[in-house]
Structure 1
Amino acid sequence: MILLQSHSRILIETLSNRVQNLDKAVELDYNWVEFGDIRYHVQVSAKNPNVLLLSVSLPVPPPETVFVGGLPYGAIEAIKSAYGSVVQILDPPRDGFNLTLKINLAKLPTDEERKQALLMKIASVREVVLGAPLSVVLKHLLSRTVAPGLDGLLALVHRPNESFFLFPQAERVTVVYPMRFSDSVDTTYAASFLQEFVETRRTAGLTSAPVCSWSPDPPPELKEASAEPLSANAGFVSFVIYPRHVEGGKLDRTVWNLSTFYAYVSYHVKCTEAFMHTRMRRRVEGMIQALDQAKPETEEKTKSPNNRSFKRLSIKEGRTNSKS
């Protein structure tokens, strides 16, 4: 099963090429969209080739999500903690974007390994920004506390119409995903996939993984949620995160896996649908081949004017028959 990468491939290629050619005074002006919802803009001026401006446009959040100043809760602190003095947040951001970062490439570490790690972290700005509220909650879980102001039901968003919920407690955090699909076939595949996903979690080799459950009805944690998120036609998936799941350097990976779980399920649902279509096409082709092989082989016959078939004889055969 595939796990999505946290960094933008186009952004990491752009950053790496710019770092390798800092001595060249070139101008860059790139725009692109990833996943149909995140828009990036990279700009470099020839007058100052060491400075790169990165603007990011985030998906429009549903009304139940927590956004402060156009950014998720804790995003500013997460950016400062992840990038340090290399990155400066411009206020206000560029028009049409939620965030603009001024990246001073001359301040990158001289050590090649640390430099590449920081570039990869910059290319993972989507994870840093959108995963900030979840990161804050899970960091407090390490200390067995609840973040101030985040002690109730908290709604987060990673893509449009794909919000999920956190229910923080001192000893654990419950993460609930209302699974919603527009296509009826996708809904059926998703419900079957999620039930199998839960059953796989119970195998002996996955005892240390977070507790996972699926239900067609909303769990008790969503009793305070509005009616719109509860209209999930593929059921509700719940994970229970304990401190052991975020300690020892596991925090960033846990944040990303939880943030992209909806996309993870959607990807495998589409793969299942494509696999089923391939199997059906192969089966139809096999049936057509069997029918072609079952057709009787007809001998080529010459018909008489009275529609009677006869066999042509050679001249020698005709003389032999007349003598007899």
Structure 2
Amino acid sequence: MILLQSQSKYLLQVLTNRLQNLDKGVELDCQWIEFDDVRFNVQVSMKNPHILLLSLSLPTPPPEAMFVGGLPVGAIEAIKAAYGTIVQILDPPKDTYNLTLKLNFNKLPSNEEAKQSFLAKIASVREVVLGAPLRIILKHLASRSVAPDMNRLVALVHRPDESFFLLPQPDKVTVIYPMRFKDSTDTVLATSFLQEFLEARRSAALSNAPLCQWSPTPPQELQGVPEEALSANAGFVSFVIYPRHVDGKKLDRTVWNLSTFHAYVNYHVKCSEGFMHTRMRRRVESLIEALDHAKSDLDQARKVETRTSFKRLSLNDSRSNSNSKGPISWR
């Protein structure tokens, strides 16, 4: 299995290239879209080459998701805690974007290793912003408590107009994903893929992994949730997170894995489709090659048969051949 990286490789490349060319007055304005419809925009002007504006557009939240001022709950505090005074939050953000950050390259640490580490942290801005409410819940789980301002059932956005749900408790947090796929083939492969999670969890090597359950119908924890939020054609996946899963450095990895679980499944479904298509193409090519060999062998056999066959003569041809040989001598 391949795990998605929290850092945006392209954003990290843009930041690194810009840092290496601060003395060049080059204007920059580029935008791109990454998985789950997260859009980025980077701008640098020739007047202030040491200032970089990074804008972020998040997936459209469903009505039940926890969004305040266009951002997930706790996102502003998470940005300030992660980047300090080096990065400023512009209010209002750029048009059509949820968040715009102002990065001053002159304020970066002087140490080269610390500088690269900070750029890598900026490249993980998606995790910082979208994972903010999940991080709050899991931090309280580590201390075996529940955030006082959290509802009994929390909905967090992870895809456009789609959310997953958390049921926080002092000793565990249950995370439930309604799995939706547009393509019927993806739905079949994803259903089989998700059911394998149950089988894999039973192995001794994964005894410390979170408990996993799959159900074709909504679990009881989702009672009272609007029907449109429960329209899942690939079933429902549940994970039970315990304090040992968010202890120390495990917190960051757990937050990222839970925030991008649907993208993780979708990625492996597409890889499975590509693998099967490759196998089918190779099989077809081998069959065509076998047919071509059989056809060439048949043509060769026909040529041999033509060279060794006798010509059938008519009665007139036979008589003419006999007369041409002259009278037969009986002596």
Give the TM-score of the pair, scaled to structure 2: 0.87
User: 1:25-50, CA deviations, whole angstroms, 9 ceiling, x for partnerless residues?
Assistant: 33222222222612212112222222
Aligned match of 1:212: 212
Show the 5 A alignment for 1:26-175. 26-35=26-35, 37-175=37-175
**Paired position in structure 2 for 1:231:** 231
Write the mapping of 1:210-289 to structure 2, written as runs, cut at 5 A.
Answer: 210-289=210-289
Following the alignment from structure 2 to structure 1, what is the Cα–Cα distance between the partners of residues 263 and 4?
8
Q: Provide the residue aligned with 2:317 in structure 1.
A: none
In the TM superposition, what is the alpha-carbon distance from 1:285 to its structure 2 partner?
3.2
Deviates more, 1:4-13 or 1:238-247: 4-13
Query: CA, structure 1 residues 290+46, in 2 after alignment: closer, same or farther (shift >3 Å)?
Result: closer
In structure 2, give the amino acid aligned to 1:301: T
**Is 1:75–1:129's contact at 8 Å kept on the other side of the alignment?**
yes
Judge conservation of contact 2:36–2:158 (CA < 8 Å) in 1. no
Q: CA deviation at 1:294?
A: 4.7
- Aligned residue number for residue 189 of structure 1: 189
State the SS of the aligned residue for 1:85. coil
Q: CA deviation at 1:287?
A: 3.5
State the aligned residue count.
311
Task: Supply the distance in 2 between the matched residues of 1:15 and 1:146 (Cα, whole angstroms).
Answer: 38
Tell me if structure 1 keeps the 8 A contact 2:44–2:52.
Answer: yes
Distance 2:313 2:160 in 1: 74
Identity of aligned residues (%): 68
- Whose helix fraction is larger, Structure 1's or Structure 2's? 2
In 2, Cα distance between the equivalents of 1:187 and 1:252?
Answer: 30
Q: What is the TM-score when the length of structure 1 is the normalising length?
A: 0.89
Q: Describe the SS at the equivalent of 1:170.
A: coil
SS at match of 1:149: coil
Q: Gaps (5+ residues) in structure 2?
A: 315-324
Cα distance in 2 between the residues matched to 1:161 and 1:69: 17
Instruction: Deviation per CA, 1:4-37: give whole Å up to 9, x if none.
Output: 1111122111111222222333322222222261
Tell me how far 1:292 sits from its aligned partner.
4.4
Q: Deviations over 1:53-97 (max 9, x none)?
A: 111111111122111000011100000000001011111111111
| Distance in 1 of aligned mates of 2:313 and 2:68 | 91
Q: Is the 8 A contact 1:67 1:73 kept in 2?
A: yes
State how far apart, in whole Å, the 2-side matches of 1:161 and 1:263 are.
15
Larger Rg: 2
Asked if structure 1 preserves the Cα contact closer than 8 Å seen for 2:72 and 2:130, the reply is yes
Distance 1:251 1:300, change over 3 A: same
Give structure 1 stretches of 5+ with no counterpart: 309-318
Go from structure 1 to structure 2 and tell me whether the alpha carbon gap of 1:24 and 1:282 turns closer, same or farther (over 3 Å shift).
closer
The amino acid that maps onto 1:13 is: Q
Q: Tell me how far apart the structure 1 counterparts of residues 251 and 69 of structure 2 sit (CA, whole Å).
A: 25
Q: Which moved more, 1:204-213 or 1:24-33?
A: 24-33
Q: Secondary structure at the match of 1:248?
A: coil
CA distance in 2, matches of 1:307, 1:69: 100
CA distance in 2 between partners of 1:276 and 1:177 (Å): 27
Compared CA separation, residues 202 and 48, structure 1 to 2 (3 A): same
How many Å apart are 1:283 and its aligned residue? 2.8
Task: Tell me the SS of whatever aligns to 2:209.
Answer: coil
Deviation at 1:268, TM superposition (A): 1.1
Letter in 2 for 1:42: V
Contact preservation (8 Å) 1:153, 1:224: no
